[in-house]
Amino acid sequence: MKIGLLVGRENTFPQAFIDYINALALPDITAEFCKLGGTRMGEPPEYRVIVDRISHEVPYYRAYLKNAVLQGAVVINDPFWWSTDDKYFECCLSDKLGVAVPRTMVLPNKDYIPEITSESLRNLVAPLDWQAMLDYTGLPAILKPAIGGGWKNVSKVHNVEELVRAFDAGGQLLMILQEFIEFQQYVRCICLGKHNIKVIPYNPLVPFAERYAPDPHYLTPALHERVVHDAWTLCDALGYDMNTVEFAIRDGVPYAIDFLNPAPDFDSFSIKEENFQWVLENLSRLVIAYARGEASPWSPPGTTVPGHDYRWAHTLRGGETAAGVLGAAVAEVGHTAVRAAEAVGAALKRGGHKKGAHDPGATPSPRAGEKAAKNTARRKKGDQAGDTVVG
Ligand SMILES: Nc1ncnc2c1ncn2[C@@H]1O[C@H](COP(=O)(O)OP(=O)(O)OP(=O)(O)O)[C@@H](O)[C@H]1O
Ligand SMILES: [Mg+2]
């Protein structure tokens, strides 16, 4: 089985990763750079697992990867979810999951493609109430792209004038405005396979090459535990197998700052040798487990429980989309049937309305509920074994 790697210009990680896997000399696994040049409809991928570091900037790769998932390959990271994600949604999700996050709002764009005129925008309020926005986030505030990286178009603003100037410079980018977290500590977590998390002190205020500064005692054990838990919660919910999650720590609370890094910096000179080796070892272990079907993206290695089964996950499981959606629907009907049967049973016990229990037109029979419950259990077992996921 082959592991394929899609990369851009980075040059310390790719060859080292391929060499690391090939040096294991496994009888069933080899790794190489993917070679692609136009893909036919339904074409089976040559690779069992593909590690994608660049499809956000090469649209053909993204299209190729979606079909690869449909044909049964495992892609790190899931190309469907990556296409959907943005920092605003992530903040909303984080808030819902109980992971501390700065107050954040999303703004209408400054500019649009030429075909969009003011008539096209009649749903938008104008002018925008800048002061109300800053009242919500507080000052200073951060304005940054909803999808972005490399600190491009990230601005710290101190008043309405600076906000409007930074917003105007954003052009066609979708921007978010965020409370600035005045932090005492800052960490970046490299997250592999959702649950495998390395917390590294990271100082965003010093030059690039000095930012990662390994120090195992940087956080108290309790804070370290909370950071790991929160990073796990986010990666599990988002479904990323390769990500970095940043936290700014203010008054002992870790606030999630940036957790949309699905092609994280793995350069040895920036993350430093010890972390680099950790990435090579743990990412190799992950792709080998996925290739062999010993784990699936929905139940990563080293876990006893499968990842949370979020609703969108069913759509994202390319290879089993139809079956998955149908399965989910059957399970939902099953749950309803079980609940109905329980209600009828309770009513019977109370000596209440008996007719309904024997009237197939009125409520499902208790046996229908049992059967549905069995179906649900079977489906769940399949998820844990990974047999419905990686095909
Ligand atoms: N809400 C915030 N509070 C405090 N600092 C912030 C906030 N948002 C961003 N920053 C600072 O700006 C930096 C860049 O922001 P962010 O990480 O969101 O952008 P990015 O372009 O994705 O960067 P990267 O390439 O490092 O992932 C952060 O490392 C952090 O230092
Ligand atoms: Mg980022």
CA of 138 to the centre of ligand 1 (A): 17
| pLDDT tens per residue across all 391 residues of the chain | 999 999 999 999 999 999 999 999 999 999 999 999 999 999 999 999 999 999 999 999 999 999 999 999 999 999 999 999 999 999 999 999 999 999 999 999 999 999 999 999 999 999 999 999 999 999 999 999 999 999 999 999 999 999 999 999 999 999 999 999 999 999 999 999 988 999 999 999 999 889 998 888 999 999 999 999 999 999 999 999 999 999 999 999 999 999 999 999 999 999 999 999 999 999 999 999 999 999 988 766 665 545 555 555 555 555 444 444 444 444 444 444 444 444 444 544 444 333 333 332 333 333 333 333 333 333 333 222 222 211 2
CB 153 less than 6 A from any atom of ligand 1: no
Residue in 142, 191, 212 to alter for ligand 1 test, most ligand atoms within 8 A of Cβ: 142
CA of 152 to the centre of ligand 1 (A): 10
Tell me which architecture the domain covering 2-84 has in CATH. 3-Layer(aba) Sandwich (3.40)
CA of 300 to the centre of ligand 2 (A): 24
CA of 19 to the centre of ligand 1 (A): 33
> Which pLDDT does position 302 carry in this prediction?
61
- Which pTM does this prediction carry? 0.81
CB 258 less than 6 A from any atom of ligand 1: yes
Q: Which atom of ligand 1 is nearest to the CA of 87?
A: 18
Question: Is the preceding peptide bond at 297 cis, omega within 30 degrees of 0?
Answer: no
Q: What does the domain layout of the chain look like in residue ranges?
A: 2-84, 103-179, 308-338
Residue in 57, 91, 136, 144 to alter for ligand 1 test, most ligand atoms within 8 A of Cβ: 144
CA of 277 to the centre of ligand 2 (A): 22
CA of 273 to the centre of ligand 1 (A): 24
Closest protein CA for atom 1 of ligand 1: 180
Cα 122 to Cα 58: distance, rounded to the nearest angstrom: 34
Residues found in the chain: 391
Taking each helix axis from N to C terminus, what angle separates 321-349 and 366-385, rounded to the nearest 10 degrees?
140
The region, left, alpha or beta by phi > 0 then psi within -120 to 50, assigned to residue 375 is alpha
CB 178 less than 6 A from any atom of ligand 1: yes
> Which pLDDT does position 354 carry in this prediction?
36
Q: Residue holding tokens 């926005």? A: 133
Report yes or no: 137 and 179 within 8 Å, Cβ to Cβ: yes
> Which pLDDT does position 194 carry in this prediction?
87
The reply to whether CATH 3.30.1490.20 applies to domain 103-179 is yes
Q: Provide the CB-side half-sphere exposure for 37 (13 A, CA).
A: 1
Buried b (16+ CB within 10 A) or exposed e, 334-357: beebbebbeebeeeeeeeeeeeeb
- Among 376, 370, 379, smallest CA distance to 341 is for 370
